[in-house]
């Protein structure tokens, strides 16, 4: 490669950085902000997925750890504020898991996450389906609903500030204490 061509290539590689510095790095800041929002959405999506995984595994400490220090959970089991109270509620309502527990009877499927991030807060909407084993051990959809979550960045990590579960099938509003009874196959099973 000729000396002139190498000089032209070097100048072409350096010039965009010099032009950007002269313009105050505005395009770089805008790109960094867009990347941050994408990273935040992915981190929040992982919390939403972990929520179902921890609940299905009856890892109530891990589950409660997804909530902010003053985070609130509201749903079919009642409501609680703070990780310790949330863990206590789950243990009281669902029982403490036995050592080596492997869930072979139920699981949550969470989908269609829509996440809006604004700085250190976010709102997420998602849908869930809850499956239990039918009489023949096959998966049967038992509940379907939606979650509305408010997130906050706490100590650098995304945490659930509030989570409200709204039952769609069967219908039960997360804010309505007058809920219809659960289907027989759900009584005593992990819910929401």
Q: φ and ψ at 42, to 5 degrees? A: -65, -40
* Radius of gyration of the chain measured on its C-alpha atoms: 23
Q: Which range marks the domain in which residue 103 is found?
A: 3-186
Query: Regarding predicted confidence, which is higher, 6 or 41?
Result: 41
- pLDDT-derived band at 190 (thresholds 50, 70, 90) equals very low
Over 70: is that where the pLDDT of 83 sits?
yes
Over 80: is that where the pLDDT of 179 sits?
no
CATH number for the domain harbouring residue 140: 3.10.450.50
The C-alpha angle with vertex 86 and arms to 119 and 118, in degrees rounded to 5, equals: 10
> What domain count does the chain have?
1
120 in a domain, yes or no? Answer: yes
Closest CA to 142 of 133, 155, 151, 152: 133
For 131-148, write each residue's pLDDT tens digit: 999 999 999 999 999 999
Widest distance between CA atoms in the chain? 82
143 in a domain, yes or no? Answer: yes
pTM of the model: 0.75
121 in a domain, yes or no? Answer: yes
192 in a domain, yes or no? Answer: no
Once rounded to an integer, what is the mean pLDDT over residues 7-14? 48
191 in a domain, yes or no? Answer: no
Percent over 90 (pLDDT), the chain = 63
């Amino acid at each position: 490669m000729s000396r002139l061509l190498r000089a032209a290539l070097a100048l072409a590689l350096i010039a965009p950085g010099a032009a950007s510095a002269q313009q105050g790095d505005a395009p770089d800041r805008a790109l960094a902000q867009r990347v941050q929002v994408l990273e935040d959405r992915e981190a929040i999506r992982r919390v939403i997925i972990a929520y179902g995984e921890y609940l299905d595994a009856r890892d109530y400490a891990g589950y409660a750890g997804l909530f902010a220090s003053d985070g609130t959970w509201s749903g079919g089991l009642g409501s609680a504020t703070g990780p310790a109270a949330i863990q206590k509620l789950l243990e009281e309502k669902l029982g403490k898991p036995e050592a080596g527990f492997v869930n072979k009877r139920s699981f949550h499927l969470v989908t269609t996450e829509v996440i809006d991030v604004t700085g250190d807060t976010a709102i997420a909407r998602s849908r869930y389906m809850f499956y239990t084993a039918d009489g023949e051990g096959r998966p049967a959809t038992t509940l379907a609903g939606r979650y509305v979550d408010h997130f906050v960045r706490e100590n650098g990590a995304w945490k659930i500030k509030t989570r409200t579960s709204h039952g769609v099938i069967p219908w039960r509003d997360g804010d309505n204490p007058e809920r219809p009874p659960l289907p027989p196959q759900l009584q005593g099973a992990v819910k929401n």
